[in-house]
Amino acid sequence: MAIMDFHGTSSRGEEVRIVYFEQRAARSAFAFAIVGDDLPRIVHWGRPLADPRTLVAAADALRPQRVSGALDETAWPSILPTQAEAWTGSPRFVVRASGMELFCHFAVTDVRIDDDGVTVDARDAEQGVRILWRCELRESGLVRQRMTVVNMRSGELEIGTVELAFPVPADMTEILTTTGHHLRERSPQRQPFTIGRFQKASLVGRPDFDSSLLLNVGRTGFGFTHGEVYSVHVAWSGNSLMAAERLPYTSGLIGGAEALSGGEVTLCAQGGSGDDGERYTTPWLYGAYGEGLNEVAARFHTELRTTHTQWRAELGVPEKPRPVILNTWEAVYFQHDFGTLKALADKAAASGVERFVVDDGWFGGRRDDTGGLGDWWVSQDVWPDGDHSLKALADYVHAKGMEFGLWFEPEMVNPDSAMYREHPDWVLRPTANRLPMQGRNQQVVDLTNPQAYDYVYGCMDVLVTELGIDYIKWDHNKYVTEAVSPRTGRPAVHGQTLAVYRIFHDLKTAHPGLEIESCSSGGGRVDLAILSLADRIWASDCVDPVERADIQRYTSLLVPPEMIGEHVGASPAHSTHRATSQQMRMAMAFFGHLGIEWNLLKEPQSALDELGVWVDTYKRHRADCAHGTVIHGDEADPAVRVDGVVSASGERAVYRFTQLTTSQTYPAAPVRLLGLDPDSDYLIQPLACNIGSGEPFTQIGNGQSELGWWNSQGVVMNGGALAAFGLRPPCIHPANAVLFSATRV
């Protein structure tokens, strides 16, 4: 990354300082201006500039005129606009002293540039509040910023809101976010970016199903492949908000913040020696610019891949292919016994599975979801010592050449449990005599209580060692509401979130090579902060492949495919009772971290043979999923989807054509294959796994005649032509999908 620093003078005689960041390889640049001692104002965000020195003129070129009926200065928002700089929109910096709100006016006192970014120090000396703004342009082309608030007063300072934002051009006129609920996460929604404030808040202790992984603003009609788009993401796993706001006086801001409850973060006074007092640091707010959402997503994928490469290097853990998983939940639910799971492990190993995960039901008195949660010791009723112990199963799984995984829900407890009966004070509650409303018969463990934290971490640490656990499926099934710590009497979501990060970090540090999945009733906790520690997320509890088509597509706006759990389930699907073909179920699980959520003991050998073919095919292509570029098409036909992954070298790609419902076009119209080198020729041919157990290529779908290229010889076409006009996909039945490859010749 290059950082340049320019100085000049405005027409008003003010000193103007420009700090310009550039990542040429990522085609990304960012700049802010400091005019006089005002807080920084972002003056460029997009592609690198030919001559960034011209930005010195931004103080004259971008400053708005004073207009009638308003203040003497028209709002030109800084990185933290306040009423002192004529901001009249939603409050973005709210702090209180002795219950009274302070209206701050900050003056920059120092700017420090280092190899990774810039720190700006600013103060309201009269009111005793200091802020440190940190800004970085990452190798991925993402811009990120966060702020630290320091109490320099003689009394306490309560933090209310610290909402950072990025400005966007006036012609960014459409907002795209996602909404959802359990079993239907990441459903896209659009609306015009009009004057006013659009906000999505998550206030249940996690981002939740309805959270929008990204808030995107772009030119009207922007899509995956076209249209300028600016996106933001709050990297925080607790309560948060994202918002887009436009005033009659400004072009628009997009940003977000941690959502704090009253009294949740209160900074103690500065020390008697004159040292600064306590401080609060916001989560990172990430910003991405791109031509279409595919470019935006690629930036987040690069960021996470880089983070995990560095994390593995620190722990001395070599990179390995993503192991194919079998998870026992939809296979057996709570019906655990050694013989059944041993037989299931045999079927899994024969199908090419590399990691066997035992889900809920192995501990304490946990025979259903009404009791036992929190009693983190192996149930002697189900797993007695000796040949039928859980340790014996783990050893058997390891002997079969597979890793062993185990389910935990460390943040929750059933009131019907030994843990709760012995320590009712370890539960978050609004008053001493009232518990929050339950969810799934659960309450939330107060991990900000050191005793509760030590108990939970200690139990997990011991079990990882004793059982040789390679993988933890970490679940989180209850909304965190009325979250007050009995120990402090204060709201505790902020501290609870930090405690979760600490357990993830400490377990992985103590057990190098241990991997952890973030599951939260499916896709309820997905964000960059948890993803920097977790190795995988569970996109949804719904494994119905028709529902998954868009759940996985919009999850991949933030999460790279190798970190998205995508499982082959039973038919009919347990969550929807929709029946689908085995090919559809396997094709939909292909572009991710492949897993199986299926009782293989009840399936005929022909189905297991077909599963084995698909697993083998996935293994041949999973390295490209882990390092390549994800491509989603913008299909005019709402009944179809085209998704793919192009290898990092551009030598090859795999695409999926999905026919969700019937189309007005019959047969389906040609589809564009994007992401290939436009100057190279590619051999396009179906993947062999499409034909299952020997079915001829020509019998695919419901076509009445052969499709010219749908055979083992395929067809050779130019990459530019494939992007411009594409090729005709097979005519297939609704709720079905096929895979085909492109190989440079």
AA letter at 334: F
pLDDT of 702? 81
Sign of CA dihedral 226, 231, 236, 241: negative
Expressed in angstroms, the distance from the first to the final Cα of the chain is 35
Angle at 674 between CA 673 and CA 677, to 5 degrees: 110
Task: With respect to residue 178, please indicate whether it lies within any of the assigned structural domains.
Answer: yes
DSSP class per residue in 260-329: PPTTSSEEPPPPTTS----EEEPPEEEEEEEESHHHHHHHHHHHHHHHHHHHHHHHT----PPPPEEE-H
Task: With respect to residue 269, please indicate whether it lies within any of the assigned structural domains.
Answer: yes
How far is C-alpha 21 from the geometric centre of its chain's CA atoms?
25
Task: With respect to residue 387, please indicate whether it lies within any of the assigned structural domains.
Answer: no
Do 170 and 252 contact (CB within 8 A), yes or no? Answer: yes
Residue 722, domain extent: 631-744
The enclosing domain of 691 has a CATH number of 2.60.40.1180
β pairing state of 593-597 and 629-632: unpaired
Task: With respect to residue 553, please indicate whether it lies within any of the assigned structural domains.
Answer: no
In 315-438 the beta strands, taken as DSSP E runs, fall at 325-327, 355-358, 403-408, 412-413
The pLDDT tens digits of the residues spanning 467-516 come to 999 999 999 999 999 999 999 999 999 999 999 999 999 999 999 999 99
pLDDT of 694? 45
Do 558 and 214 contact (CB within 8 A), yes or no? Answer: yes
pLDDT of 449? 98
The full 3-state SS of 489-512, as one line of letters, equals CCECHHHHHHHHHHHHHHHHHHCC
β pairing state of 515-518 and 536-538: parallel
Say how many C-beta atoms besides its own lie within 10 A of residue 472's C-beta.
26
How far is C-alpha 324 from the geometric centre of its chain's CA atoms?
21
500: left (phi over 0), alpha (psi -120 to 50) or beta: alpha
Domain final residue pick, 251, 270, 305 = 305
CA atoms within 13 A on the CB side of 24: 3
Give the C-alpha distances (Å, rounded to integers) separating 573 from 278, 547, 582, 660. 52, 10, 11, 16
Interatomic CA distance for residues 415 and 435, integer angstroms? 10
Interatomic CA distance for residues 736 and 584, integer angstroms? 5
Domain final residue pick, 305, 321, 339 = 305
Say how many C-beta atoms besides its own lie within 10 A of residue 439's C-beta.
16
What is the number of structural domains in the chain? 2
Task: With respect to residue 562, please indicate whether it lies within any of the assigned structural domains.
Answer: no
CA proximity to 78, closest of 130, 138, 125, 36: 36
Give the C-alpha distances (Å, rounded to integers) separating 540 from 543, 545, 571. 7, 11, 17
Burial class (CB in 10 A: 0-12, 13-18, 19+), 261: middle
Neighbouring residues of 410: CB distance < 8 A, sequence distance ≥ 6: 376, 445, 456, 460, 474, 503
CA proximity to 312, closest of 531, 48, 541, 509: 509
Which residue positions in the chain have pLDDT lower than 70? 271-275, 691-699
The enclosing domain of 150 has a CATH number of 2.70.98.60
Report long-range pairs for 432-436 (Cβ below 8 Å, ≥24 apart).
Answer: 432/486, 436/481, 436/482, 436/483
Give the C-alpha distances (Å, rounded to integers) separating 219 from 7, 461, 658, 684. 33, 50, 27, 34
Task: With respect to residue 318, please indicate whether it lies within any of the assigned structural domains.
Answer: no
**In whole angstroms, how large is the CA radius of gyration of the chain?**
27
Domain final residue pick, 278, 305, 332 = 305
Task: With respect to residue 479, please indicate whether it lies within any of the assigned structural domains.
Answer: no
Interatomic CA distance for residues 673 and 681, integer angstroms? 13
CA proximity to 299, closest of 310, 309, 286, 308: 286
Task: With respect to residue 114, please indicate whether it lies within any of the assigned structural domains.
Answer: yes
Do 622 and 605 contact (CB within 8 A), yes or no? Answer: no
230: left (phi over 0), alpha (psi -120 to 50) or beta: beta
CA proximity to 31, closest of 66, 12, 73, 59: 59
